[in-house]
Every structure is written in C-alpha cells, then in structure tokens.
C-alpha cells in the first residue's frame, strides 16, 4: 500500500449504504420487523407474495427515512413514488422489489465527517425507501428461504463518487451510522445486516477528470473489512494500470461485482457485468404517491435531536476535546450518551473523556464488553474523575480503583476508596514532611530550575515525593507544602 | 310466490326477511339448479354446497331469534374464482393454482358475507382473467345460456352465465378491460364496473393493478346497486381504495335535466344492427327527458393499443410471483432453480397468459420502454383528459358494450381480432370511470345486446340511477328460454 505511487493515482470511491429502519412493522405489511427469530415466523401474506395480497405503506418508515433526509440537509421530495424492480430470485417473494427509482424521497444532502482531524464534507446523490429481500439458507441436500427479513424497510443511501481514500470512506460510513443511531431510525448493527455497504471504486491518474471503469464490492459488513477491501482493490487497480500502461482501462478492470474475501485478503470477482442489468422499472400501481406537506417537514425538522456533527462541534468548541477524542465519542452514540450523563456529575470534560475513551475502554478491550453494558453507572466514572481532579486521590490509586470498579460493577468509587486504607491519601504532615525535605535535599538543581520559572521542575519534585510515598501522598498536601518550602 | 329463481335478489332478500322462505330452501333450490345446469354451462369451477348450507342454517336461526339480518340476507352469490375465500381454492382457472388454498378473505367477499349473503361457489373465468370469451379457462370453457354454442363473454364468463341462467342471483366479477360488462352484455344481464378504488382489490388476484376493479353482475340494476352498497367501502389493506364513506344507491327513475354525451364519430363504423339497437337506446333516454349531445372521444381508437401495453406490463410483474417456490404448481421435472422457474411456468400457464407475460416483459424492457410503456402512459393521460373534457359538457357517456352480440366459440383465431372486441369497454378502465352494462334488447338471432353508460369518476350512484331509469323504461331483461323452469 505505502509503496504505491499515490502521488500519481487518485482513487474515486462511492458508497451505497443499505440501512435497515427499526420500525415496528415491515415497509408494506403489518408483520413484525424483527431480527433473530425462528425462520418464517415474522411473515404475512404480503411478505410471502401471496396472490391477492397488496402492499400498504408503513408511515413510520416514511417518517424515519425523512428524518435522515432532514438530518443531512437534503431536499425532501414533497411527492415521491414507488417503482417495481423486476428480477427472479427465491428470496424475492414477488420476484420484484418495491423501490423508489424515478422519484426518490430524498435528493442531495451532505455528510460531514472528521478524517484524521480534518472535517470533510461528502455530498449525497440520493436516498430512497425500498423493501428488503428474504434470506436463502443452504443445507446439505436442499436450500430454504427465510422470509422474516422480506419486506423489512431499508433506505438506500447513495453517495456521490466523492471519496478519495479508504479512510474517507470509513469516516463517511461511520458518520451515517452515527446519524442513524442519533435519530433512532436504525440499530446500525452491521453484524446483523442492519447496515450493509456496497463500494464502487476506480482509480485514475491524478488530475484526470474522467472516471475509469469501476469495481463494485458488495456487502462489506464491517468498517474494518471495508477499509482493507478498498485498500486491496486500489492497490490491485493501480498495479494493473502501472504494469500495463498501454492497455485500455476497460480491459484491465472489466466492470463487475466483487466480494471481499477475508481469508485471502483479496477482492474476488463474483460476476462480470456483460451488459447493464434490465430491471424493467415501472411505477408500482398498488401504491399511491407519498405526499409530505411543508408543515409536516417543518414539524419533524424542529423536533430533530442533537446530531453527531453538532455534538462533535460542541465537544471540540465548548468542552475543549481534541477532534480525535470527540470523534471517538460521537461515533458510538451509547458511549457519547454515557459521557453526557457522566458530565452532569463532573465538570471536567477532558479528563472525563480520557478516562472513558482510554482508561475504561482500554481495560475492557480484551473482554469484548463495552462500558455502556458492563454495569458501571456514568455517575461513578464521574465521581472517580472528580476525586482525581480534586486531588483526593492520586492517578495511581485512581487506576487501582478503576480496576475494582470493573471487577465489582456498581460499587461507588468513593466507597472503594473509603474501604481500603491503602487508597487513603496520606495527608499526615508528620509522614510527608520528612520525605519532602529529603527530596528537596537530593534535588537542588530542580529547585533552582523551578525558581527560574520552569514548571516542569516542580512537577518533577511532586513526582519524586509520590514515588517515595508509593503514590499515596495527598497531591494537595504535597503541592502546598512543597511550594511553601521552596517559597 | 313466483319460483325463487324468478325473483330479483332484492325480492328474494325481502321474502326471506319476512319469513316467506327459509334460507335453507333458497340454498337447496339454487344448488339444485347448479347441479342441473352447471355442467352444460361450465359456469362453476367449485360449488361450496356444505358451506352454503351452514350459512343458510345460521341465517334461519338468526331470523328465528329475531336477530338483525344483513342487507344481503339470504341472497345466493357466486364468486369469480380469482377472489379469495379463506380456506377455499382460488384457481384463477389456471393449472398453476389448481390446489391453491386462499389464506385470507377478499375484502369484497368478507363484506358480502358480513351482510349475510350466501356464497354458493366459485365461477369460471379466462385464466387469470385474461380473455374476453372464457375460452382461456385451463379447465373448461363456460357457455352462453342463450346459445350453448356461443361464448358467454369474458373474462367473468362463469359469473355472467350463472346469473343469466339463475344459478345464482348475484355474482362478482373483476373488470380490467371490460371483463364484467362484456359478459353481462353477452348474457343479457346487468354488469357494473365501479369507479377505480371504490371497491377494495385486497384478495383479488391481480391482473392489471391500475385497471382491475371488482363489481357485481346481477339480473337487475337494483340488485347491482345493493351489492355496491355492501362492497363499495374503504379498505385499509388496499392503498388504492378510496377513503370515502359508503354510498346509498337510491334509484330515482328520472332523467330530466340529464345530459348524455355520445361520441357519434367514434361509432361510425358500427355494424348496422348494433347501431340500430344503440340508436333505440338513445331514443329511450330522450323520451325519458334526457338531452343527448355529441362529444369527442376519438382518442378511444388508441385505447386497445394502450391497454394491451399497460395491462400486460403490469401483468408480467403481477404474475412473476407464480414461480413454483412458495406455492402453486412446481414442475416435477425441474432439477435446479432455473428449471423450477422455467418448467413450472411453462407447464402452469396457458398460451394466452404466456403471450401477455411476454408482451408485458417486452414493453418494459430497456430500449423499448420509451416507445411502448411510457408512450402508452402518455396516451392514457390524454384519454383521461378527453373524458374530462366530455364530462364538462355532459353527465355521462353512452356507448354500446360490444360491437356484436355473443359469437360462436372459436370464431376468433387471431388474438388481435379478439382484442379489438374490447374497444368500447377499455376506456372506462384506462380512466378509472364507473360504467354499467344494461340489457338493451336482442339481435336477429335472439342474442342479448347491451347499452353502456359511463360516468365521471365517483359518480357511481348517478350511473346506476340512469341505468335503472333505462331498465325500468325498457324491461329487456329475460331469463333465457332453457332456464325458466
């Protein structure tokens, strides 16, 4: 990857994201929209394409899709319509999908995302409502179809070909997932397929305006895999173009559908596109146009919750978090909400963020658990940080307390500290003063440095005292006494 | 009292409600008639005797206990076999659905049963309602009770034959391009296609979704109106069903102040006998106080071309679900997925259905869609405009139902010639208009002819009022000779 002539080649990436909406019922039927049940229990006569069954549009799905459009400041069509998209496959109960081809609900809009500390704006082409297919399950001697997912509401979000490296694609996709979570329109669960990504990718000599043939990588089901797949595909395309500089691009990269093979760490061709698929789109005669009045749109827009990008700006501007830390928080809504809750009990956002995103998450990394489900109330983390900030405990003790909080989720850090004599800060002057004297005596140069205005020298002296008290001396007492003695 | 099958549905209902006849007696009478005449007419694909008797017994008990009775209490009804009755077969006269059990009730059927109608059975039709002679039934054709050698018309041929021969007093039909009105005309009864969206399509196996409408076939306009009062209701399971309160069909036989439009130019090539019959009908309307003006509906000459593009396009996707995967006939010879699709459809569908699926697939294909499907949509809009313009000048349009009376089975070998039979009926489907076929006399062979009255959208009540006035003034309706006894 690194040895590729990136300065000479520019990747162009466009993403199609299928986002499953978390409505109670399906897009066109009253059957439950629920994942993980026994096959073919969440179905109705519509989901199995029975003759005589008719689709009836779920208003909740229209609202949730529209909220997405409003959140990305897109143009919401006052009148949008559905079309039939014909293709035969056993997971498609009517052998046509009901989608919005001609008049999508959402046009345009932008996604703003932090890419390595830089805010970038990615334009959207469109987003539209459509129903999901069922799932084929293969057994040793036969295949079965599970229609539980058939008819689940999706929005397909199509970006412009506007991303130029895998990091941008990941940031864009994570931003969309975050928006979905903040709006509560999807659970965004990639493992369960609630968020599925198809990537279109081509590369071209830097400066070229024309796009070269693109590969379509289907069903990227984690951000990590997407990044790897894109990197691998970019590398494959650049290598082909540089090794065969005189062959026409269309011969080197024949358009086709690929999948990411995690085993071989390669993109694998699934199907070459001989000619454009003919889906024979035409207006769905069983449905009437979706009409949204300006009043409805205004009311929904006014009621939008705080969105991830707004939260990001608040974290950076008002709370002084770094863009990296702010991104880490906002991309996981649960975590960000946890932080918000803790913030109510603790007026120190930066250390609080650090303890949440570094200390606790670091401790949990191996366990597979997350801070939001491990049972530690946000107020406890807030208390811990407050204890540190008020110099009631030292950093070293705080880390030990954090370990105990994880072992006994629900234990109040104040109680942990109170119960364990080892965690009591030593504030007895009779113990601390001789140690301070000793440190001062051993480090005359530091005293001189401090007096010359070097603050770090002071911190060094505090550190020495802490070392000798094995981190237990009350930082407040040490600070005060040191200052007094150096004078 | 007259024999039960000589009563209108309204008269029979009244007799039952007054206690003059038991529901069980009604059912036995009509089951006997089906038993006697059903075969020769090919009218029924299934007879639901035990179900009808159970319902009749329940009705007799209900009446004995002085419980309130529904609007269609005791009226025998036959259902076109492309509408669902939960738990019963819906075959659509296709081999593909030979053993398909309907998983739910069609809304229109449920509404009639809730009003205490008694369902006798399921009637024959052209396979998936595709045809205008009933010869396309995969099982057997239906015959015309006026002349068994003649077709009853289609696609609701079984329903029309059943009502004409009084094997049932009311039958349901579905009308995509004339499938209620044409057989009603050929069999000498009343057939009514409501405004698009007036009756729920939920539970009707779709042919051309933007054109399909369920409606009644009956011996009299009043009987058709009664059925409309019951089935013309909003339905949450059909997004295209109108959200309007049900209407009351009071039939005042008064045509004063009414203006009928006739597209005289469009009728110039009409056969003399049909023209004479139509002119007579126009004269009757005038004698009843109506005014008649000339309107321009020349665009209707394109209606057949438009219809056979749009209806087949919709049908090609509506019938895509019949793939042998979830229900219906799966070919025994299929060895893989492709073959399940290909062979199941090859074996399950008849030639006319295949022809229309291919036609519809073609007109939607990339490269042809603009020339066919999209152009046809534009012409459809123009036809709608032409009707609107006509209705700015008149209250309803008068047309013949067909360019001939019923003809001998097998007469048309060329499907295009047969498609041309729908020239007068398709316009109402393309524009979603309410249209009725009412008996207007007989041709020189004694076969019935029909007058068509087409109203503006939502004018279901006025259309039936005009038809009622005409019917009361003419009284053309008769029971065919072999079926009076």
Is residue B119 classed exposed, middle or buried when 0-12, 13-18 and 19+ CB atoms within 10 A define those classes?
A: buried
pLDDT at A426 over 90: no
Q: How far is A213 from chain B (nearest CA, A)?
A: 22
Based on the fold, state whether residues A457 and A339 are members of the same structural domain.
Answer: no
pLDDT digits (tens, 9 = 90+) for B432-474: 999 999 999 999 999 999 999 999 999 999 999 999 999 999 9
Considering only the beta carbons, identify the residue of B203, B240, B364 that sits closest to A288. B240
pLDDT of res. A3: 63
Length of chain A counted residue by residue: 487
Considering only CB atoms, which chain B residues are within 8 Å of A48? 326-327
Verify that A239 and A280 share a domain, yes or no. Answer: yes
Residue length of chain B: 485
In the structure encoding, which two tokens stand for residue A328, read together?
A: 């880490």
Q: Which residues of chain A does B100 touch, with a Cβ-Cβ cutoff of 8 Å? A: 51
- A:168-227 residues touching chain B, CB 8 A cutoff: none
Distance CA B189, CA B161 (A): 9
Report the pLDDT averaged over residues B394-418: 93
Q: Which of A268, A294, A320 is the last residue of a domain?
A: A294
Torsion of CA A314, A320, A321, A326, to 10 degrees: 10
CA distance B244 to chain A (A): 16
* pLDDT over threshold 80, residue A275: no
Element (H, E) at A450: helix A444-451
pTM: 0.92
Q: Does A51 touch chain B (CB under 8 A)?
A: yes
Question: What digits encode the pLDDT tens for the residues A121-134?
Answer: 999 999 999 999 99
Q: pLDDT tier at A1 (50, 70, 90 boundaries)?
A: very low
CB nearest A278 (choices: B97, B316, B365): B365
Same domain? For A132 and A214 the reply is yes
Partner-chain contact A52 B203, CB within 8 Å: yes
pLDDT tens column, B88-146: 999 999 999 999 999 999 999 999 999 999 999 999 999 999 999 999 999 999 999 99
Establish whether the linkage from the previous residue to B453 is cis, with ω within 30° of 0: no
Chains A and B form CB pairs within 8 A to the count of 94
A95/B323 CB distance under 8 A:
yes
Alpha helical stretches, state H, A164-219? 166-183
Q: Scan for tokens 């009478």, then name that residue.
A: B29
Nearest beta carbon to residue B364 from set A94, A282, A286: A282
- Report chain B's mean pLDDT, rounded to a whole number: 97
A333: left (phi over 0), alpha (psi -120 to 50) or beta: alpha
**Smallest Cβ distance to A86: which of B201, B202, B320?**
B320
Look at residue A150 and tell me if it is in a domain: yes
A277 plus A378 within the same structural domain: no
A481 vs B430: which has the higher pLDDT: B430
Distance between CA atoms of residues B458 and B455, nearest Å: 8
Question: How far apart are alpha carbons B155 and B133 in whole angstroms?
Answer: 6
Q: Which of A262-266, B214-218, B365-369 has the highest mean pLDDT?
A: B214-218
A positions 152-171 inside 8 Å of B (CB): none
Report yes or no on A304 lying in a domain.
no
Task: Inform me whether the C-beta atom of residue A324 falls under 8 Å from chain B C-beta atoms.
Answer: no
State the total domains in chain A: 3
Residue A450: inside a domain? yes
The rounded distance, in Å, linking the Cα atoms of B208 and B210 is 6
CATH of domain B4-257+394-483: 3.90.1300.10
- Report which of A379, A321, A316 is spatially closest to residue A351, judged by C-alpha positions: A321
**Contacts of residue A369, Cβ cutoff 8 Å, sequence gap at least 6:** none
Tell me whether residue A445 is in a domain. Answer: yes
CA angle A459, A345, A477 (to 5 degrees): 30
The answer to whether the CB atoms of A95 and B321 lie below 8 A apart is yes
Give the torsion sign (CA, B36, B41, B42, B45): negative
ipTM of the complex: 0.96
**Residue B360 — pLDDT band, cuts 50, 70, 90?**
very high
pLDDT band at residue A433 using 50, 70 and 90 as cut-offs:
confident
Q: Is the pLDDT of residue A2 over 70?
A: no
Picking from A373, A408, A423, the residue at the C-terminal end of a domain is: A423
C-alpha to C-alpha distance for A309 and A323, rounded to whole angstroms: 11
Within-domain flag for A102: yes
Which sequence spans correspond to the domains of chain B? 4-257+394-483
In a shared domain, residues A245 and A385 = no
Q: Tell me the CATH number at A439.
A: 1.10.10.410
Query: Of B297, B298, B260, B250, which is closest to residue B281 (Cα–Cα)?
Result: B260
- Which residue range forms the structural domain that includes residue A83? 9-294
Rg (CA), chain A: 29
Judge: A280–B366 Cβ closer than 8 Å, yes or no.
yes
Q: Is the pLDDT of residue B431 over 70?
A: yes
Q: What is the mean pLDDT of residues A424-444?
A: 84
Report the pLDDT value the prediction gives residue B253, as an integer from 0 to 100: 65
What is the model's pLDDT at position A370?
A: 85
Nearest to A335 by CA among A367, A308, A299: A308
With an 8 Å Cβ cutoff, are A95 and B206 in contact?
no
Are residue A66 and residue A215 in the same domain, yes or no? yes
My answer on whether A24 and A128 are in the same domain is: yes
For residue B152, the Cα-to-chain-centroid distance in whole angstroms is 12
H helix or E strand, kind and range, residue A75: strand A75-76
Q: Are residues A400 and A256 in the same domain?
A: no
- Taking the alpha carbons at both ends of chain A, their separation in whole angstroms is 58
State CA A44 to chain mean position distance.
34
Q: Does A334 touch chain B (CB under 8 A)?
A: no
Q: Nearest to residue A112, comparing CAs of A410, A294, A358, A323?
A: A323
Q: d(Cα B137, Cα B127) in Å, to the nearest integer?
A: 5
pLDDT for res B108: 98
In A32-80, alpha helices (H) = 59-71
Range A222-238 average pLDDT: 95
- Residues A150, A199: one domain? yes
Above 70 in pLDDT, residue B265? yes
Distance from CA of A151 to the nearest CA of B (A): 15
Catalytic center residues of B: 80, 155, 179
For the segment A469-484, what is each residue's pLDDT rounded down to a tens digit? 877 787 778 888 888 8
Beta strands in B287-395 (DSSP E): 291-294
List chain A residues with CB under 8 Å of B85: none
Best mutation target, A91, A96, A280, to test chain B (most B CBs within 10 A)? A280
Do A370 and A409 belong together in one domain? yes
Reference B77, options B199, B172, B190; nearest CA is B172
């Amino acid at each position: 990857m690194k040895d590729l002539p990136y300065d000479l080649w520019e990747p162009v990436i466009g993403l199609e994201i299928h986002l499953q909406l978390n409505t109670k019922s399906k897009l066109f039927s009253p059957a439950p929209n629920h994942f993980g049940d026994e096959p073919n229990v969440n179905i109705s006569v519509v989901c199995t394409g029975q003759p005589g069954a008719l689709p009836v549009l779920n208003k909740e799905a229209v609202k949730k899709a529209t909220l997405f459009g409003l959140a990305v400041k897109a143009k919401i069509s006052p009148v949008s319509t559905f079309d039939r998209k014909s293709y035969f496959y056993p997971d498609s109960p009517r052998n046509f999908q009901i989608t919005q081809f001609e008049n999508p609900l959402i046009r345009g809009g932008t996604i703003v995302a932090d890419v390595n500390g830089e805010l970038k704006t990615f334009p959207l082409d469109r987003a539209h409502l459509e129903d999901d297919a069922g799932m084929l399950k293969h057994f040793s001697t036969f295949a079965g179809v599970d229609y539980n997912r058939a008819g689940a509401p999706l929005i397909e979000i199509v970006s412009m070909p506007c991303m130029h490296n895998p990091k941008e694609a990941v940031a864009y996709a994570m931003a969309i997932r975050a928006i979905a979570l903040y709006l509560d329109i999807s659970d965004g669960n990639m493992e369960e397929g609630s968020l599925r990504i198809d990537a279109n990718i081509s590369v071209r000599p830097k400066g070229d305006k024309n796009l070269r043939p693109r590969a379509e990588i289907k069903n990227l089901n984690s951000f990590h895999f997407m990044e790897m797949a894109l990197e691998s595909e970019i590398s494959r395309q650049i290598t082909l173009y540089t090794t065969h500089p005189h062959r026409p691009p269309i011969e080197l990269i024949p358009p086709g559908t690929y999948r990411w093979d995690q085993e071989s760490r390669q993109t694998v061709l699934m199907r070459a596109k001989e000619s454009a698929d003919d889906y024979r789109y035409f207006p769905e005669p069983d449905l009437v146009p979706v009409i949204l009045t300006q009043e409805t749109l205004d009311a929904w827009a006014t009621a939008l919750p705080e969105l991830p990008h707004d939260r990001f700006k608040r974290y950076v501007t008002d709370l002084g978090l770094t863009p990296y830390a702010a991104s880490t928080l906002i991309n996981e809504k649960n975590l960000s909400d946890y932080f918000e809750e803790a913030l109510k009990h603790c007026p120190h956002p930066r250390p609080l963020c650090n303890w949440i995103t570094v200390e606790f998450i670091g401790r949990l990394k191996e366990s597979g658990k997350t801070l939001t489900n491990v049972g530690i109330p946000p107020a406890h983390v807030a208390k811990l940080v407050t204890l540190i900030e008020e110099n009631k405990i030292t950093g070293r003790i705080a880390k030990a307390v954090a370990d105990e909080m994880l072992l006994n989720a629900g234990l109040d850090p104040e109680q942990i500290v109170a119960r364990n004599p080892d965690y009591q800060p030593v504030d007895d002057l009779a113990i601390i003063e001789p140690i301070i004297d000793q440190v001062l005596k051993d480090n005359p140069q530091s005293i001189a440095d401090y007096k010359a205005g070097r603050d770090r020298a002071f911190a060094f002296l505090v550190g020495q005292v802490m070392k000798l008290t094995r981190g237990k001396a009350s930082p407040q007492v040490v600070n005060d006494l040191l200052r007094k003695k150096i004078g | 009292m007259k024999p039960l099958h000589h009563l209108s549905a309204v008269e029979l209902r009244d007799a039952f409600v007054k206690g003059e006849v038991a529901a069980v007696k009604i059912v036995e009478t009509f089951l006997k008639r089906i038993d006697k005449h059903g075969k020769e007419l090919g009218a029924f694909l299934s007879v639901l005797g035990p179900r009808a008797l159970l319902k009749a017994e329940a009705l007799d008990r209900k009446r004995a206990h002085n419980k309130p009775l529904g609007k269609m209490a005791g009226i025998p009804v036959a259902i076109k076999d492309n509408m669902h009755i939960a738990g019963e077969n819906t075959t659509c006269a296709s081999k593909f659905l030979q053993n398909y059990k309907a998983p739910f009730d069609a809304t229109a059927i449920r509404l009639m049963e809730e009003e205490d109608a008694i369902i006798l059975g399921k009637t024959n039709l052209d396979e998936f309602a595709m045809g205008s002679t009933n010869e396309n039934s995969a099982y057997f054709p239906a015959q015309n009770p006026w002349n068994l050698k003649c077709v009853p018309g289609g696609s609701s041929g079984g329903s029309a034959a059943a009502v004409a021969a009084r094997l049932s007093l009311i039958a349901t039909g579905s009308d995509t391009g004339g499938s209620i009105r044409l057989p009603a005309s050929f069999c000498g009864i009343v057939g009514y296609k409501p405004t698009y969206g007036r009756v729920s399509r939920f539970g009707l196996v779709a042919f051309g979704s933007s054109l399909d409408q369920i409606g009644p076939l009956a011996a009299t306009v009043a009987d058709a109106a009664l059925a409309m009062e019951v089935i013309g209701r909003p339905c949450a399971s059909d997004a295209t069903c109108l959200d309007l309160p049900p209407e009351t069909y009071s039939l005042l036989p008064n045509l004063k102040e009414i203006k009928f439009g006739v597209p005289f130019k469009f009728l110039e090539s009409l056969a003399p006998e049909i023209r004479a019959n139509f002119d007579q009908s126009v004269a009757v309307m005038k004698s009843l106080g109506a005014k008649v003006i000339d309107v321009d509906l020349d665009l209707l000459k394109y209606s057949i071309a438009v219809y056979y593009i749009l209806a087949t396009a919709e049908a090609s996707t509506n019938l895509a679900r019949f793939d042998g995967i979830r229900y219906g006939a799966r070919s025994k010879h299929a060895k893989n997925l492709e073959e399940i699709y290909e062979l199941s459809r090859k074996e399950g569908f008849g030639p006319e259905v295949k022809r229309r699926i291919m036609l519809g697939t073609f007109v939607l294909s990339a490269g042809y869609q603009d020339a066919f499907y999209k152009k046809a949509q534009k012409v459809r809009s123009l036809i709608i405009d032409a009707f609107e313009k006509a209705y700015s000048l008149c209250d309803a349009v008068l047309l013949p139902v067909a360019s001939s009376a019923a003809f001998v089975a097998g007469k048309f070998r060329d499907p295009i010639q047969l498609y041309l039979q729908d020239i007068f009926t398709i316009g109402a489907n393309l524009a979603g208009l309410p249209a009725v076929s009412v008996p207007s006399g007989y041709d020189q062979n004694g076969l019935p002819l029909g007058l068509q009255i087409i109203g503006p959208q939502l004018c279901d009540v006025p259309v039936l009022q005009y038809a009622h006035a005409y019917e009361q003034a003419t009284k053309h309706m008769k029971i065919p000779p072999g079926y009076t006894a």
